[in-house]
């Protein structure tokens, strides 16, 4: 097995929204905001090369939306999936699976393209797309809080294509070469893959831990639908991660790709940061 980092660009979100009730005077020690209180975030996907399978985890924003949409998020350093795959020696036709941690637009926007006739179609034509039934229902019947994050053009064409398959919650699946943990604080049944790689477990932590700055338990995004549950889930996960020497792979951290943890009298904290290639 080989793991490859695939960067799809950066975007900006409000710092207050990203850190919830935590005061700016505290979180800005780790993440520096601009003059408009916006912070820069990565959209870092992971490509798993495993035998005859090529599995893409999350897809970034994509490029099918109107320019007005992208200006709202100050998108920068953009790169299409096709170009990123080509740089790694692959093509979009080579991807066999697309594993979507959840269906917020910054995680699944690149899963669907708009073709030359204006129709929406899956961006990875030969891939099986993976979600889970609970989250799919949650995303296709959105609550008012998350409605702006679940865009139908990112989601429905996947089902219409016939390429969609569901991971069963609470069951270890033989369909994928990694374990999947489920978390409900950020959104219903967000999926976190745990991948055995070079003697370590690599956790693609998605929006459970958007960045190294979100390691403290109270540092919970304002976007989370169940923030108190996020705190419980995060504490349990960090204990598991430290105990099992997980390498955390950050999807949104614009500074660091990976980190591991250490236990101190003050609790579990960051030990060191590193690139995935350094494993």
Residue 68, pLDDT score: 85
Instruction: Tell me how long the chain is.
Output: 279
Asked whether the beta carbons of 60 and 45 are under 8 A apart, the reply is: yes
Residues with Cβ within 8 Å of 254's Cβ and at least 6 positions away in sequence, in order, are 10, 40, 41, 42, 211
* H and E: helices and strands count for the chain: 8, 14
Mean of pLDDT values over 181-195: 97
Domain that holds residue 84: 2-278
Count: domains in the chain: 1
CA 265 and chain centroid, separation: 31
Distance CA(134)–CA(125), nearest Å, equals 25
Residue 273: which CATH number?
A: 3.60.15.10
Q: Reduced to 3 DSSP states, what percent helix, strand and coil does the chain have, rounded to the nearest 5?
A: 25, 30, 45
Tell me the DSSP string of 132-168. -HHHHHHHHS--TTTTTT--HHHHHHHHHTT-EEEPP
Which helix or strand (DSSP H or E) is residue 156 part of? helix 152-160
pTM of the full predicted structure?
0.95
pLDDT above 90 (res 21): yes
State residue 56 phi and psi, 5-degree precision: -100, 130
pLDDT of 247 reads 98
Tell me the pLDDT tens digit for each residue of 127-144. Answer: 999 999 999 999 999 999
Residue-wise pLDDT tens digits, 139-182:
999 999 999 999 999 999 999 999 999 998 765 667 899 999 99
Cα–Cα distance, 129 to 111 (Å, whole number): 9
Q: pLDDT-based confidence at 87, cuts 50/70/90?
A: very high
Of 64-68, 110-114, 271-275, the least confident:
64-68
The pLDDT of residue 171 is 57
Average pLDDT in the 245-258 region?
Answer: 98
């Amino acid at each position: 097995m080989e793991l490859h980092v695939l960067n799809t660009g950066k975007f900006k979100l409000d710092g207050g929204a990203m850190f919830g009730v935590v005061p700016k005077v505290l979180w800005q020690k780790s993440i520096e905001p601009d003059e408009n209180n916006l912070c820069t975030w990565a959209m870092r996907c992971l490509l798993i090369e495993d035998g005859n399978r090529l599995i893409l985890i999350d897809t970034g924003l994509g490029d099918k939306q109107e320019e007005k949409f992208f200006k709202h998020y100050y998108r920068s350093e953009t790169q299409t999936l096709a170009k990123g795959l080509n740089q790694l020696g692959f093509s979009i036709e080579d991807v066999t699976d697309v594993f979507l941690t959840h269906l917020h637009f910054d995680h699944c926007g690149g899963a669907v393209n708009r073709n030359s006739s204006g129709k929406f179609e899956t961006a990875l034509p030969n891939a099986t797309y993976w979600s889970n039934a609970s989250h799919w229902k949650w995303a296709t019947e959105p609550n008012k809080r998350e409605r702006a994050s679940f865009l139908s053009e990112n989601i429905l064409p996947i089902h219409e294509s016939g390429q969609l398959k569901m991971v069963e919650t609470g069951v270890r699946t033989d369909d994928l070469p990694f374990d999947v943990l489920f978390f409900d604080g950020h959104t219903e049944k967000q999926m976190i893959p745990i991948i055995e790689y070079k003697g370590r477990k690599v956790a693609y932590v998605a929006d459970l831990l958007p960045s190294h700055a979100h390691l403290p338990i109270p540092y919970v995004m304002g976007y989370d639908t169940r923030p108190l549950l996020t705190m419980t889930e995060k504490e349990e996960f960090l204990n598991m991660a430290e105990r099992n020497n997980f390498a955390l792979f950050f999807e949104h951290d614009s500074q660091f790709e990976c980190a591991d943890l250490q236990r101190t009298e003050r609790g579990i904290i960051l030990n060191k940061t590193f690139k995935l290639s350094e494993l």
